[in-house]
Amino acid sequence: MKKVINAPGRVVEEMLRGMELAHPGLLRLIPEQNVIVRADAPIRNKVALISGGGSGHEPTHGGYVGPGMLDAACAGAVFTSPTPEQMLEASKAVDGGAGVFYVIKNYTGDVLNFEMAGELAEAEEIQTDYVVVNDDVAVEDSTFTSGRRGIAGTVFVHKICGAAADDGKDLAGIKELAERVNANVRSMGMSLTSCVPPESGEPIFEIGDDEMEIGMGIHGEPGIERKNIEPADQIVDDLLQKILGDNVDFTSSGDVAVMVNGLGGTPLMELYIAYACVADILKREGVNIYKMPYVGEYMTSLEMAGFSITLLKLDEEMKGYLEAPCDVAAGRPF
Amino acid sequence: MKKVINAPGRVVEEMLRGMELAHPGLLRLIPEQNVIVRADAPIRNKVALISGGGSGHEPTHGGYVGPGMLDAACAGAVFTSPTPEQMLEASKAVDGGAGVFYVIKNYTGDVLNFEMAGELAEAEEIQTDYVVVNDDVAVEDSTFTSGRRGIAGTVFVHKICGAAADDGKDLAGIKELAERVNANVRSMGMSLTSCVPPESGEPIFEIGDDEMEIGMGIHGEPGIERKNIEPADQIVDDLLQKILGDNVDFTSSGDVAVMVNGLGGTPLMELYIAYACVADILKREGVNIYKMPYVGEYMTSLEMAGFSITLLKLDEEMKGYLEAPCDVAAGRPF
């Protein structure tokens, strides 16, 4: 296993410490809890947004904590759900009296634990609600999931609902908006290699030197097809046909936000090549790309090579919130 | 070779097209030249900054084109210098009458070609000057270089001189500032894997499953030592001792900008783990880190796993320009 780490069992703690050290004034770490919190939390009378999940998807989720996005992120062990206790501590740290909203990616452990955390928080007089994001069109039911998995489309929920919370929307309004974003966002990915979780030190799956996996999950869950590598434009066409063939009408009038998300090991060169294919195919299909697409690493799988495509059909309210300023670690290259 | 590409011989053209499509209003491509230019160039009476080099280091250089940084970037083939003709076309496209300044990483081909481009531009009445950045402390003389190589510290030259040009500094002033930044910036890297250039489809070097290379170049040039992988804190200590032992006094009073730069295949998790080590060691050594460090992928080597560390000793003028706003593709995650 080739990694820049000190000890496989301490990667999450050391990473979070590095994040806190790298972003003084923006982030603080709740000691012993592996929870990253906005340095200025709680914000009085603002709905607080919390997300979280297994580590290994950076900058998801800690990289999205800050003004205009999340109030807290709960980091589980690599590819392992955080605990209800972590989520409760996060809730207590960020609740400003207007309630706490959980953005949950659809994995069974995440959903169960956030639901339990919500009950514990309610017992402490903190109002809670949540959305379960399930944007991945690849498969129904998977290794860790009942229904569809939640992947990179979740970042749009963070961005749009984070701006809405800043704008004063109440808990019921955030819930409605989050459900609306989730109803209009669809994603699908592909991989060329497995990633290697630090604790096991072994790849999650074996894959041939000339093979790719279409529709795999961000924890290496099986996809829908294993086949020989194809040219980028063919791969992109496959992913987009499955996304466009789902039940959101991206081709009618209106604008669509587009994300080409690298999974960790794929260089930016290839993401831009893939984006050129995406732009060509969406033009052919009559899909109107809204302003600037999102090309980069938003939700990774450690060092997995591959990428995902996400489309979000926008309404006017979503556009405003998508463009609102935010200040988060993942958005601070300079 | 596992890559999301259409054809090995077209990766640069297709990547640049993807960049242009992804950033309408910010970037435009000069057809047939593989030159990315600020959409609003030329800017009258502003010194124009141009950089460039072989492709495969994205977001370097095209990702740094835009207000507050570069006016143009010349993309060579992968790991191959751009031509004087590209550089001349870039110069003609962005000169606003105040001259053109070339930021050159120290590789023999890049230096020779930019020098020739400068002569060609002068013949067309465009004033030019340049800096050769040589921040890599690892080795003197290398496969493609006489003297020290230029690596990730170059991004600080782009940022600081780009802001200075926006601020109205003239060509002589930009030259002096660029030389001052170069005199105060030092870097060194390490790798766990080779990268695979698309045209050859083969790794540049072989490396064992338990080995790492200390001080290699961003084109896979040999470093100073091949040894068994060590814990992150030991690796960071090795790199920092070499940087701190060089001829810039980072430990005296004053502030130091710090960059932990991923080479493409190393996940953000590991970069933050490395940054925690950097912060601890610099504290122990009495180096004062200025505000927010730069942790991410700034100058990559395709999908190489590994990272580099850069330190820049700042003066007050550099601080102001480092913090000035900029709007470039690499700085636009949201």
CA B156 to chain centre: 8
Q: Which residues contact B122 (CB under 8 A, 6 or more apart)?
A: B128
Residue A143: per-residue pLDDT: 81
* Cα Rg of chain B, angstroms: 19
Q: Which residues contact B188 (CB under 8 A, 6 or more apart)?
A: B136, B137, B138, B214, B215, B239, B242, B243, B308, B309
Whether residue A280 contacts residue A233, with contact meaning beta carbons closer than 8 Å, is answered with yes
Phi and psi (nearest 5°) for A36?
-95, 130
Residue B147: per-residue pLDDT: 93
| Nearest to B106, CA basis, from B71, B150, B69 | B150
pLDDT > 70 in chain B, percent: 100
Mean pLDDT of chain B: 96
Q: In what order do the strands lie in the sheet with A35-38?
A: A27-30, A35-38, A72-78, A48-55, A100-105, A128-133
Residue A141: per-residue pLDDT: 84
Protein fold of B185-322: Hypothetical Protein Tm841; Chain: A;domain 3 (3.30.1180)
CB-nearest partner of A269 from B55, B235, B298: B55
Question: Is the confidence metric ipTM above 0.90 for this complex?
Answer: yes
Measure the CA–CA gap between B181 and B79, rounded to whole angstroms. Answer: 25
pLDDT of B171 above 90? yes
Measure the CA–CA gap between A28 and A83, rounded to whole angstroms. Answer: 19
The confidence band for A332, taking pLDDT boundaries of 50, 70 and 90, is: confident
Instruction: Given the residues A23, A57, A61, A158, select the one marked as catalytic.
Output: A57
| A237-284 confidence digits (pLDDT tens) | 999 999 999 999 999 889 999 999 999 999 999 999 999 999 999 999
CB-nearest partner of B4 from A232, A330, A332: A232
pLDDT of B127 above 90? yes
Residue A108: per-residue pLDDT: 95
The confidence band for A229, taking pLDDT boundaries of 50, 70 and 90, is: very high
The confidence band for B332, taking pLDDT boundaries of 50, 70 and 90, is: confident
Whether residue B128 contacts residue B121, with contact meaning beta carbons closer than 8 Å, is answered with yes
| A18-46 confidence digits (pLDDT tens) | 999 999 999 999 989 999 999 999 999 99
Residue A273: per-residue pLDDT: 98
Cis bond leading into B8, ω under 30°? no
Q: pTM for the full model?
A: 0.97
The confidence band for A145, taking pLDDT boundaries of 50, 70 and 90, is: confident
Kindly list the residues from chain B whose CB atom is less than 8 angstroms away from the CB atom of residue A21. 275-276, 279
Q: Among residues 303-332 of chain B, which lie with CB inside 8 Å of chain A?
A: 303, 305-307, 326, 328, 330-332
pLDDT > 90 in chain B, percent: 95
Measure the CA–CA gap between A138 and A188, rounded to whole angstroms. Answer: 6
Mean pLDDT of chain A: 96
Beta strands A211-214; A225-228: pairing state: antiparallel
Measure the CA–CA gap between A239 and A229, rounded to whole angstroms. Answer: 14
Mean pLDDT, to the nearest integer, of A117-136? 98
Q: Among residues 78-137 of chain B, which lie with CB inside 8 Å of chain A?
A: none
Measure the CA–CA gap between A182 and B199, rounded to whole angstroms. Answer: 41
pLDDT of B23 above 90? yes
Whether residue A68 contacts residue A325, with contact meaning beta carbons closer than 8 Å, is answered with yes
Whether residue B17 contacts residue A276, with contact meaning beta carbons closer than 8 Å, is answered with yes
Beta strands B48-55; B72-78: pairing state: parallel
| B235-272 confidence digits (pLDDT tens) | 999 999 999 999 999 998 899 999 999 999 999 999 99
CATH code reported for the domain at A10-184 = 3.40.50.10440
pLDDT of B31 above 90? no
Measure the CA–CA gap between A228 and B263, rounded to whole angstroms. Answer: 27
Cis bond leading into B42, ω under 30°? yes
pLDDT of B150 above 90? yes
pLDDT of B88 above 90? yes
CB neighbour class for B228 (10 Å; exposed up to 12, middle 13-18, buried from 19): exposed
Q: Any idea where the domains of chain A sit in the sequence?
A: 10-184, 185-322
pLDDT of A334 above 80? no
Give catalytic status of residue B158 as yes or no.
no
Whether residue B183 contacts residue B157, with contact meaning beta carbons closer than 8 Å, is answered with no
Q: Which helix (H) or strand (E) holds B186?
A: strand B185-191
Q: Which helix (H) or strand (E) holds B88?
A: helix B84-94
| B89-125 confidence digits (pLDDT tens) | 999 999 999 999 999 999 999 999 999 999 999 999 9
Whether residue B231 contacts residue A7, with contact meaning beta carbons closer than 8 Å, is answered with yes
Mean pLDDT, to the nearest integer, of B317-333? 93
pLDDT of B173 above 80? yes
Residue B334: per-residue pLDDT: 77
Q: Which helix (H) or strand (E) holds B200?
A: none
Place of tokens 């959305």: A131
